[in-house]
Structures are given as C-alpha cells and as structure tokens.
C-alpha cells in the first residue's frame, strides 16, 4: 500500500513510518519540520534499510498535497501533522485552529479531489476531559477544555460529516492516551523542542543531568499515592495500532473512533520508580502545585480496539522506560 504520512518526521509519525515500511508498505512523508528534524528521515532509512519518500511542506496546502497524492498513487492517509501542546494552545488558540483544523481541511480537499478513501487520524484522549467514569470508553461524554482538544474534536466532527456525504470513505480516529518510549534501536524517539511539557521527556532529561529535578504536579489527587494517573502506551504498540487501523479500513467504510491505550494506569511516582529501575539513575523530584487543566486519573477502555481492530498493546512499562532511556543516552553521546 502507498501511504501518505503527514507529520511523519515527528515522534509518533516516525515510528509509524518504521512499522509500515517494515511490513512492506511504502511511506510518503509530508512534514514542514515545524517540530522535527530532517535527520529523522535518515534514521528511518537506517532502521528499515530503505528510505521513505520525503517532502518538506505544509499539509494545508491543497495543490501541493494533491500533487503528492497523485504522483505517488496514495491509497491511504495517516494524518498526524499538527500542534500538540495543551498549554500553548491556551495561549495561542488561533495558531492551533489554523494549523490543526485548516491543515486538516486542506488535506481533506486534496483527498477528495484524488478520490482517496481511507484515513487514519491522530486524535486524543484529551477530548474526554475529566473522566466521569473509568475506564474511559469511546462513548464517554466529550468535554474539551482547551483549544488543542477542541481542534481535535472539530476535526473528528468534520470527518463524521464527510463520511455521511461520501459513503465510500473509511475513517478511523485513534484517540491516543499517553505515548512514551522509543524504537529499540534508540535512533528515533521523543525529542521535543525546548523545555518538555510531557512527563517522560522531562524525566529522561533529569536522568542525564540536563535538568536538576522533576516537578511532580500535585501530590494530593484522589489516587493511591496522590499523584496523577495516566495510561502510558509504548509508541511502538501505538504505531502497530495504525497498521491495524489501515487493515480494518481495507474492508470497512464509515466513521470509527477507537481508544489507543493499555487499559492500565500508572502514577507519576510509579513512572519515576520504573524509570530509575531501568536507567540506574536517580530522578530527584519535588512535589509542587497541581498543573492547571490536569485531571487526577485517566485510563482507557480498550475492548473496542481489541475486538474490532484485533490489536492490543503488548509492551511493558519497563520496555517503555528502557527504550526512552536508550534514545536519550544516544542523543547525549552524539
Ligand atoms: P510531533 O510534534 O512530534 O509530530 C508532529 C509533526 O507534524 C511534526 O514533525 C511537525 O513538524 C509536523 N507538523 C505540524 N504541523 C504541520 C503542518 N501544518 N504541515 C506539515 N507538518 C506539520 O507530535 P507527536 O507527538 O508525534 O504527535 C503526532 C500527532 O498525534 C499530533 O496530531 C498530536 O496532536 C497527536 N497526539 C499526540 C499525543 C502525544 O502525547 N504525543 C497524544 C495524543 C495525540
Ligand atoms: N507531570 C508532572 N510533571 C511534569 C510533566 C507531567 O508531574 O513535568 C504529570 C502530569 O501532571 C500528569 C502526568 O505527569 O499527571 C502526565 O502528564 P503529560 O503532560 O505527560 O501528559 P497529559 O496526560 O497531560 O497529556 C498527554 C498529551 C496530550 C494528550 C493526552 C492524552 O500531552 O496531548 O496525553 O491523554 F492529549
């Protein structure tokens, strides 16, 4: 299959590219490198043994995307390109709507013009807001509380409408929980620009001495140890979930949404301990005030993906931590 991967140089997209290409598919990456580096393309090639096709450009540019789709006879699209920082989206909502929603619109117009009828979209568990019950299933009410989440929900809703108007179209919205870890080679991984917002990249930077300590945001949540609980999923499991989604779309049309998690939550302190165990490094931390917008506990009901996509996460917490550490150690040596 010829698959267009938007945002394929990013953290998740690069792992999806590796898994897709390893299974014999051809990956065509479009990325404007606003949050990634060109060298990722070489690292993907090094892992897989052949290079993906790469275009530097914006997913919202209709003519450009249409031309890529036509030239490479694209069968399916995996749309990962977008901005993803919750905090930044509160400060700069227009940029988030512009890049995420308008970007998706440009892509969708191009897909329609070229009759591409299969799309996997990177959505987020953030659209559920503060869980009213656990585990969170796909029918959970949606209570977005920031522009990032709302941009994801707008796109999900647009996709629903488009599926009604074009019955031949098949769309899967994958609602990611908390992707962490890296490819076992240590060649690709999570490498955010600037100060990391997310827990795991911050922890690895503390472990290698780039930062003095981790601020644990809140120690008084109603959770077993008082710190926030999340459903961390290995990025390689997540990447494999995308291939399962594409396979599903080869025989199913219409709009679908699936949670992508492990179904198990870990607290911040459990994550610190697991990481210390795998890296052999101490992670100094201080419990500080809660971060605005954080929920106490969130983990996924994963039955729908297991049943429909025939996919389940298999990698352990230890694997998530050791692979993240391997990636960071290689970066630190470079
Ligand atoms: P990332 O920032 O590492 O990757 C996104 C990639 O998209 C980057 O390479 C960036 O340069 C590119 N990009 C951004 N806007 C673009 C545009 N207009 N045109 C072309 N390229 C563009 O992020 P990630 O963690 O790999 O996330 C991928 C997707 O998954 C995003 O849509 C994100 O919202 C979603 N998601 C991520 C998480 C997470 O915790 N990482 C959780 C839920 C959902
Ligand atoms: N945390 C800390 N210190 C930090 C960073 C995070 O204590 O320096 C805590 C948070 O308070 C939370 C947990 O670690 O309890 C996880 O926080 P992350 O920022 O890693 O992840 P979030 O659950 O807040 O959000 C992530 C992505 C969103 C996505 C969501 C889906 O950032 O884009 O998962 O569940 F939508």
Q: Band the pLDDT of 57: cuts 50, 70, 90.
A: very high
Classify residue 258 as exposed, middle or buried by CB count within 10 Å of its CB (0-12, 13-18, 19+).
buried
Phi, psi torsion values for 46, nearest 5 degrees: -60, -40
- Report CA-CA distances (Å) from 4 to 27, 38, 125, 181: 6, 17, 24, 24
Query: Residue 334 above 80 pLDDT?
Result: no
Relative to the alpha carbon of 120, which ligand is closest? 1
The residues carrying an active-site annotation are 148
- pLDDT tens track for 110-156: 999 999 999 999 999 999 999 999 999 999 999 998 999 999 999 99
Every domain of the chain and the residues it spans = 2-181+231-262+301-309
Determine how β-strand 2-6 pairs with β-strand 76-79.
Answer: parallel
Output the CA 138–ligand 2 centroid distance in Å.
Answer: 20
Q: What pLDDT is stored for residue 86 in this prediction?
A: 86
Question: Do 263 and 196 form a contact (C-beta atoms < 8 A)?
Answer: no
Distance of alpha carbon 264 from alpha carbon 232, whole angstroms: 8
Look at the block and give the residue holding tokens 């409408």.
161
Query: Residue 54 above 90 pLDDT?
Result: yes
- Ligand 2, atom 26, residue with closest C-alpha: 178
Tell me if 215 CB under 6 Å of ligand 2: yes
Top-level class of domain 2-181+231-262+301-309: alpha beta
For range 190-219, the mean pLDDT? 94
Q: Is the pTM higher than 0.85?
A: yes
Q: Is 123 helix (H, G, I), strand (E, B) or coil?
A: strand
For range 205-209, the mean pLDDT? 95
Look at residues 58, 163, 64 and name the one whose alpha carbon lies nearest to residue 114. Answer: 64
Tell me if 75 CB under 6 Å of ligand 1: no
Q: What pLDDT is stored for residue 1 in this prediction?
A: 96
Q: What pLDDT is stored for residue 292 in this prediction?
A: 84
Question: Whole-number mean pLDDT of the chain?
Answer: 97
């Amino acid at each position: 299959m010829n698959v267009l991967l938007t945002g394929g140089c990013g953290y998740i997209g690069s792992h999806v590219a590796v898994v897709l290409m390893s299974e014999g598919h051809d990956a065509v990456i479009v990325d404007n490198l606003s949050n990634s580096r060109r060298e990722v393309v070489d690292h993907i090639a090094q892992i897989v043994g052949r290079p993906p096709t790469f275009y530097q450009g914006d997913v919202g540019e209709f003519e450009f995307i249409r031309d890529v789709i036509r030239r490479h006879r694209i069968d399916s699209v995996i749309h990962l390109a977008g901005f993803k920082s919750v905090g930044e989206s509160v400060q700069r909502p227009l940029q988030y709507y512009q890049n995420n929603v308008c970007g998706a619109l440009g892509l969708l117009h191009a897909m329609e013009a070229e009759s591409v009828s299969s799309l996997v979209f990177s959505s987020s568990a953030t659209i559920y807001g503060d869980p009213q019950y656990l585990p969170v299933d796909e029918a959970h009410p949606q209570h977005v509380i920031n522009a990032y989440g709302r941009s994801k929900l707008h796109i999900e809703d647009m996709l629903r409408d488009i599926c009604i108007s074009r019955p031949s179209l098949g769309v899967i919205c994958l609602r990611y929980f908390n992707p962490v870890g890296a490819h076992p080679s240590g060649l690709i991984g999570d490498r955010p620009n600037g100060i990391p917002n997310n827990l795991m990249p911050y922890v690895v930077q503390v472990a290698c001495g780039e930062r003095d300590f981790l601020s644990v945001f809140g120690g008084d949540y109603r959770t077993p140890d008082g710190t926030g609980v999340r459903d961390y999923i290995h990025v390689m499991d997540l990447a494999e979930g995308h291939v399962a989604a594409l396979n599903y779309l080869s025989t199913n049309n219409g709009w679908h949404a699936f949670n992508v998690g492990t179904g198990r939550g870990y607290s911040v302190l459990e994550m610190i301990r697991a990481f210390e165990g795998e890296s052999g490094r101490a992670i100094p931390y201080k419990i500080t005030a809660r971060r605005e917008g954080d929920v106490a506990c969130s983990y996924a009901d994963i039955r729908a993906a297991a049943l429909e996509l025939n996919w389940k996460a298999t990698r352990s917490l230890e694997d998530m931590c050791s692979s993240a550490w391997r990636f960071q150690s290689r970066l630190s040596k470079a």
